[in-house]
């Protein structure tokens, strides 16, 4: 009789899916725990006597005063933000490596500078050698910024940074500009990076007007701090106050009544926004591929078959009413319209 060969099924194949998930959750929890342990080791830095160049572009003066007077109460970034910061640092390192590999190694990396008269402190990501002397300079300060892909296409020049709708981009200009004045360079460079794209290198000339504005604000902050007083809060802005590390002690007046929603709903809302991004891409492609009668796209009015794809055009008759405005006017009435939008806090 032939002996039956028994196959031992490894235990993992007989596990329930929940067990697999538990193991995955444990690995994730350990990733978080490693970051948490690092954070616990870090003591908050006493910064009561100085302003930081990376923050001077913040749109709220009260924030800048809190950053000095209440540094101990500053809210730490949550673990999710911790991963984002880590990613930024890793990307910065990668950009430096890419530049170094082709002979443009940044020097004086992370060197602090001080402007004692303003109590301003900052550091520059490095000084980049230039391929040839420019206005007599063989090198220039460079600030590396890792950019969310969402904003990548919209930033092509220093004006796009300087006038960006998001305050932290405008703050980048203030940060580099402060260094150009502190270290007396007439120009510098932004090196922007994002996932899977060629870095963008954007020159910035020293901006007198911006420096006059920023240094006047720093003086105001210094005066408030000396008097241990606070300026008035800005009108509540979810894009600024919603991201503020001092909102818990500032408690800015909210012009709008906010409804309490359980934190568990956040995932549903995030999924909605994720789908919206796809929808926006779909609408963009629809414009270029189909378009309409005023702006026909590549395949407007076409009938064709391409492999498994059919392009079909049907012509229908529709009745339209071209009613003169003076005939419509007596029927006009104002109605309350409720428009609710869901967007990211940093949009």
The structure tokens listed for 130 are 């230039």
Name which of 98 and 166 has its Cβ closer to ligand SF4. Answer: 166
Residue 170 sits in the site that holds ligand SF4 (CB under 6 A)? no
The structure tokens listed for 120 are 């301003």
Three-state secondary structure call for residue 127: strand
Q: How far is the CB of 247 from ligand SF4 (least distance, A)?
A: 4
Name which of 105 and 346 has its Cβ closer to ligand SF4. Answer: 346
Residue 244 sits in the site that holds ligand SF4 (CB under 6 A)? yes
Name which of 122 and 233 has its Cβ closer to ligand SF4. Answer: 233
Interface segment toward ligand SF4; rule CB under 6 A; list 39-47, 62-70, 168-176, 186-194: 62-70
Residue 240 sits in the site that holds ligand SF4 (CB under 6 A)? yes
Answer for the pair 169, 202: CB distance below 8 angstroms, yes or no: no
Contact pick of 50, 62, 68, 96 for ligand SF4 (by CB under 6 A): 62
Q: Is the dihedral of CA 29, 31, 35, 37 positive or negative?
A: positive
The structure tokens listed for 139 are 């090198």
The structure tokens listed for 22 are 């538990």
- In this structure, how many other beta carbons lie within 10 angstroms of the beta carbon of residue 266? 10
Residue 108 sits in the site that holds ligand SF4 (CB under 6 A)? no
Long-range residue pairs from 151-158, CB within 8 A, at least 24 positions apart, any chain: 152/192, 152/194, 152/197, 155/192, 155/200, 155/202, 156/200, 156/202, 157/202, 158/190, 158/202, 158/203, 158/204, 158/205
Interface segment toward ligand SF4; rule CB under 6 A; list 89-97, 107-115, 244-252, 295-303: 244-252
Q: How far is the CB of 89 from ligand SF4 (least distance, A)?
A: 25
Contact pick of 60, 120, 173, 221 for ligand SF4 (by CB under 6 A): 60
Name which of 105 and 237 has its Cβ closer to ligand SF4. Answer: 237
Answer for the pair 161, 190: CB distance below 8 angstroms, yes or no: yes
Contact pick of 40, 117, 234, 319 for ligand SF4 (by CB under 6 A): 234
Interface segment toward ligand SF4; rule CB under 6 A; list 58-66, 74-82, 134-142, 220-228: 58-66
In three state form, how does the secondary structure of 136-202 look? CEEEEEEEEEECCHHHHCCCCCHHHHHCCCCHHHHHHHHHHHHHHHHCCCCEEEEEEECCCCCCEEE
Q: Which helix (H) or strand (E) holds 311?
A: strand 309-311
Q: Compute CA distances 152 → 92, 175, 198, 238, whole Å.
A: 16, 19, 11, 23
Using CB under 6 A as the binding criterion, the count of chain residues that bind ligand SF4 stands at 13
Residue 224 sits in the site that holds ligand SF4 (CB under 6 A)? no
The angle subtended at Cα 199 by Cα 198 and Cα 204, nearest 5°, is: 145
Residue 66 sits in the site that holds ligand SF4 (CB under 6 A)? yes
Q: How far is the CB of 161 from ligand SF4 (least distance, A)?
A: 21
Q: How far is the CB of 57 from ligand SF4 (least distance, A)?
A: 13
Interface segment toward ligand SF4; rule CB under 6 A; list 46-54, 99-107, 239-247, 281-289: 239-247
Three-state secondary structure call for residue 107: strand
Site for ligand SF4 in 250-279 (CB under 6 A): 250, 252
Interface residues with ligand SF4 (CB under 6 A)? 60, 62-63, 66, 233-234, 240-241, 244, 246-247, 250, 252
């Amino acid at each position: 009789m032939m002996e039956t060969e028994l196959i031992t099924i490894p235990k993992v194949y007989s596990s329930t899916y929940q067990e697999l998930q538990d193991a995955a959750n444990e690995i994730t929890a350990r990733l978080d725990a490693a970051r948490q342990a690092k954070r616990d080791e870090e003591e908050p830095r006493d910064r009561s006597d100085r302003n930081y160049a990376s923050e001077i572009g913040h749109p709220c003066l009260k924030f800048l005063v809190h950053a000095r007077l209440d540094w101990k109460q500053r809210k730490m970034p949550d673990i999710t933000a911790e991963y984002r910061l880590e990613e930024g640092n890793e990307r910065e390192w990668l950009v430096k490596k890419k530049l170094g590999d082709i002979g443009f190694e940044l020097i004086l990396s992370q060197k602090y500078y001080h402007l004692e008269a303003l109590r301003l402190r900052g550091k520059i990501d490095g000084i980049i050698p230039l391929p040839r002397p420019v206005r007599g300079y063989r090198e220039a300060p460079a600030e590396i910024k890792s950019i969310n892909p969402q904003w990548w296409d919209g930033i092509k020049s220093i004006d796009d940074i300087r006038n960006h709708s998001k305050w932290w981009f405008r703050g980048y200009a203030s940060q580099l500009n402060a260094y150009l004045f502190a270290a007396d360079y007439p120009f510098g460079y932004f090196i922007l990076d994002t996932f899977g794209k060629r870095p963008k290198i954007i020159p910035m000339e020293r901006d007198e007007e911006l420096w006059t504005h920023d240094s006047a604000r720093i003086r105001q902050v210094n005066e408030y701090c000396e008097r241990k007083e606070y300026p008035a809060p800005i009108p509540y802005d979810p894009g600024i106050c919603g991201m503020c590390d001092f909102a818990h002690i500032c408690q800015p007046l909210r012009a709008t009544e906010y409804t309490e929603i359980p934190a568990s709903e956040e995932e549903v809302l995030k999924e909605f926004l994720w789908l919206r991004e796809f929808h926006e891409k779909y609408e963009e492609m629809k414009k270029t591929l189909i378009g309409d009668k005023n702006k026909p796209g590549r395949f407007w009015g076409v009938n064709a078959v391409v492999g498994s794809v059919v392009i079909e055009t049907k012509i229908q008759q529709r009745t339209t009413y071209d009613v003169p405005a003076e005939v419509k006017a007596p029927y006009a009435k104002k109605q309350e319209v409720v428009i609710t939008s869901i967007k990211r806090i940093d949009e």
